[in-house]
Amino acid sequence: MTSGAAECGLRYAVKKSGSSVAYCALSIKCGSRDEQGYHSGLAHFVEHTIFKGTEKRSAAVINSYLDRLGGELNAFTTKEEIVIHATVLKEDLHKAAALLFELATSPTFPQQEIETEKGVVIDEIHSYKDSPSEDIYDKFEEMLFEGHPLSSNILGSVASVKKISREELLKFTKEKFTPERMAFSIVADVDEKKLGKEVIKLCKQFFPVANDSDDTTLSSVSVPGKEAEADCPKPGGIPFDMTLNKRNHQANCIIGGLAPSLYQERERLATILLCNILGGPANNAILNSVLREKNGWVYGAECSYTQFADTGMVAISIGCDKANLDKCIEATYKELRKLQAEPLSDRKLKAAKKQLLGQLAISGDNGETQCLSMGKSLLAYGKINGTKETRELIEKITAADIQEMVCTVFDPTRLSKLVYI
């Protein structure tokens, strides 16, 4: 793998693959948490409308550009990032890369396209509202992070989306879409060093600087994620226990609270392993074993862990028949108390580590997944941890680390609960 930083501040990484398919992604450290002073949902709306025209191309030309090559162009928004990415044959990689840079540096946001896309986004908002399992997650985040930028809903509200203007879109992208907030990642069957130099050329073309040089070191470029951690006050995370009558056919419940941030490495990795043990994708995850396999109360139960620059969130999600809700909640608390009272045996810890490492290896054996992960890592840490380094860090986790984190993040005095019935 080759990585570095252009003079303009953009970080990049190129990883060689053995596939004829190439993946590239432009990740921008800018999400819904960066909307202060703007209408809620603006970052997500930028993601939708950035394909609707540049200074050189119309929406129709952009949409057909990669289609004609058999490629794909897509984007997504999180609380902290907007990511534009493409999948093409390796011989078309340069065209795709140049298009991503063009989209990020010269969007025009035509008024007619804005009005059309407002209808699309409003339909998306209604779709989420019609899905209790998704709506409850957004509501839980909003309540847990109340008064903090992370409380902003990524989609925004119908009212806020209707108020978004072209001037606001142009101002937001000019302010936030700066090279020092960007990372460009590539996974393709290419000469890594040669393509790294091509990325530098693209940076010179789209982000010209006075003192032009070929490259600089990653360590000399500030990491925007760490700046966010330093500048933003920690969320209060005041515990709550709320039940809302949604007149749903089944009950949905989230139990969770604040968790370690991206930069609390030991605690973060232990929490990843803990959540995988509790409610990961495997059939033998504790909650799935107890709530589904043993008692048949739920179709599925999961435990997720979302990491941000300055904090994190754990969330146990349960969907069940209303008659089984209280039993599911009590059984969940019972399993948490067991983990808090007694550390995992060496055998169980070893098996849990092997399972997590296997899951990471399988999910990472995909060019697009690797490409997106590289971009996220560059934005967050200014570097990319290799597979060997990640494995070594996970192997160092102890039973005491797991017990410490289950006692901390699932401390009953800090836990919040939200129920939809």
Same domain, 168 and 260: no
Same domain, 266 and 387: yes
Same domain, 190 and 246: no
Query: Can you tell me the mean pLDDT for 382-403?
Result: 91
pLDDT in tens, 66-84: 889 899 999 999 999 999 9
Last residue in a domain, options 221, 251, 270? 221
Question: Does residue 194 lie within any of the structural domains?
Answer: yes
Tokens describing residue 126: 């209604």
- The pLDDT confidence band at residue 388, using thresholds 50, 70 and 90, is confident
Q: Decide if 308 contacts 80 (C-beta within 8 A).
A: yes
HSE value, Cβ hemisphere, 13 Å, CA-based, for 249: 2
Q: Please report, for residues 110, 301, 314, the alpha-carbon distance to residue 253 in angstroms, rounded to integers and kept in the order given.
A: 42, 10, 13
- The pLDDT confidence band at residue 210, using thresholds 50, 70 and 90, is low
pLDDT in tens, 51-65: 999 999 999 999 899
Same domain, 246 and 339: yes
Same domain, 202 and 245: no
Query: Angle at which helices 132-144 and 111-129 pack, to 10 degrees?
Result: 100
pLDDT, averaged across the chain: 92
Tokens describing residue 197: 């130099």
Same domain, 294 and 212: no
* Angstrom distance (rounded) from CA 14 to CA 276: 30
Question: Does residue 77 lie within any of the structural domains?
Answer: yes
Q: Decide if 173 contacts 82 (C-beta within 8 A).
A: no
Question: Does residue 228 lie within any of the structural domains?
Answer: no
Same domain, 194 and 331: no
- The pLDDT confidence band at residue 363, using thresholds 50, 70 and 90, is confident
How large a percentage of the chain has pLDDT more than 70? 94
Question: Does residue 138 lie within any of the structural domains?
Answer: yes
Q: 49 CB contacts (<8 Å, ≥6 apart)?
A: 107, 109, 113, 114, 117, 169
Last residue in a domain, options 167, 187, 221? 221
HSE value, Cβ hemisphere, 13 Å, CA-based, for 420: 23
Same domain, 104 and 73: yes
Question: Does residue 236 lie within any of the structural domains?
Answer: no
- The pLDDT confidence band at residue 100, using thresholds 50, 70 and 90, is very high
Q: What pLDDT does residue 220 have? A: 45
Same domain, 280 and 336: yes
Last residue in a domain, options 159, 193, 221? 221
- The pLDDT confidence band at residue 364, using thresholds 50, 70 and 90, is confident
Tokens describing residue 404: 């410490």
CATH code (residue 328):
3.30.830.10
> What does 378-399 look like in DSSP terms, one character per residue?
HHHHSS---HHHHHHHHHT--H
* Angstrom distance (rounded) from CA 372 to CA 185: 7
Same domain, 198 and 277: no
- The pLDDT confidence band at residue 243, using thresholds 50, 70 and 90, is very high
What is the sign, positive or negative, of the torsion defined by CA atoms of 373, 374, 377, 379? negative
Question: Does residue 232 lie within any of the structural domains?
Answer: no
Nearest-CA neighbor of 26 among 171, 226, 204, 186?
Answer: 186
Same domain, 247 and 365: yes
Number of domains in the chain: 2
pLDDT in tens, 322-342: 999 999 999 999 999 999 999
Question: Does residue 322 lie within any of the structural domains?
Answer: yes
Strand-pairing partners, residue 184, are 12, 26
Question: Does residue 231 lie within any of the structural domains?
Answer: no
Q: Is the pLDDT of residue 417 over 90?
A: yes
Q: Domain range holding 197? A: 2-221
φ/ψ region of 10 (left if φ > 0, alpha if ψ in -120 to 50, else beta) reads beta
Query: Can you tell me the mean pLDDT for 387-409?
Result: 94
Q: What pLDDT does residue 418 have? A: 98
Same domain, 247 and 142: no
Task: Report the Cα–Cα distance between both ends of the chain, in Å, rounded.
Answer: 50
